[in-house]
């Protein structure tokens, strides 16, 4: 199977998806800090 990072468009898409996942994580971390 071809590595998705061989394609620039896949690289960008993976970056955008990772941004969404990490944004969700950041929201959880901030909420957790506010609650303690």
Partner 1 sequence: MLSDAILRWLHVLAGIMWIGLLYFFNFVNAAAVKEATAAGEAAPISKYVMPRALLFFRWGAVVTWIFGAALLGSMTAANGMNGFAAAFALQSNMAPIGIGAWLGTIMLVNVWTFIWRNQKKILGFVPATDEEKAKARRVAFLASRVNTMLSIPMLFFMVTGPHQSIYH
* Residues of this chain that bind partner 1 (CB under 8 A): 3, 5-6, 8, 11-12, 14-16, 18-19, 22-23, 25-27, 29-31, 33-34
Least spacing, CB of residue 14 vs partner 1, in Å: 5
Q: Helix, strand, or coil here: 1?
A: coil
- Sign of torsion over alpha carbons 21, 19, 24, 32: positive
Least spacing, CB of residue 28 vs partner 1, in Å: 9
Residue with tokens 């971390």: 29
When the beta carbons of 1 and 8 are compared against partner 1, the nearer one is: 8
């Amino acid at each position: 199977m071809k590595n998705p990072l061989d394609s620039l468009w896949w690289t960008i898409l993976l970056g955008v998806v990772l941004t969404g996942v990490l944004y969700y994580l950041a929201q959880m971390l901030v909420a957790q800090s506010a609650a303690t």
